[in-house]
Amino acid sequence: MGIINAPKLLICDEPTTALDAQIQNQILDLLKQLSMEKNIALLFINHDLSAVKRLADRVYVLKKGELVETNLTKSFSVTPSTNIQNSRSKPQTCLLKN
């Protein structure tokens, strides 16, 4: 539905969360194809850096609503401009007891 009116920007907020690896890959491939063929910019919001690296030209890192890092994707993990690289982790989970 988001591409019916030929947008210039498509906002993708965690589009592959909770999907199996095969479906994640299909979604990422589709987004990349749409972006290139239809000349649509993507705002790709995700915690999975491997997915971000597949799609993004630039990476922007927010921490508590503040921009703390920006870099080219190819340089992102190699030369981070802040210490945020060291504090990145997967979301915390816990076991709930009945």
CATH code, domain with 48: 3.40.50.300
What are the strands, taking DSSP E only, across the chain? 9-13, 41-45, 58-63, 66-72
Q: Is there a domain that residue 98 lies in?
A: no
Mean pLDDT of the chain: 80
12 has pLDDT over 60: yes
Domain tally, the chain: 1
Q: Is there a domain that residue 64 lies in?
A: yes
Where in the sequence is the domain holding 60, given as residue range(s)? Answer: 9-82
36-62: average pLDDT: 89
17-44: average pLDDT: 92
pLDDT at 79: 46
41 has pLDDT over 50: yes
Q: What is the pLDDT of residues 59-82, one digit of tens each?
A: 888 888 888 888 888 887 644 455
Contact 26, 15 (CB under 8 A): no
Q: Is there a domain that residue 92 lies in?
A: no
Q: Is there a domain that residue 71 lies in?
A: yes
Angle (CA) 30 34 40, round 5°: 140
Q: Is there a domain that residue 87 lies in?
A: no
Q: Is there a domain that residue 51 lies in?
A: yes
pLDDT at 2: 64
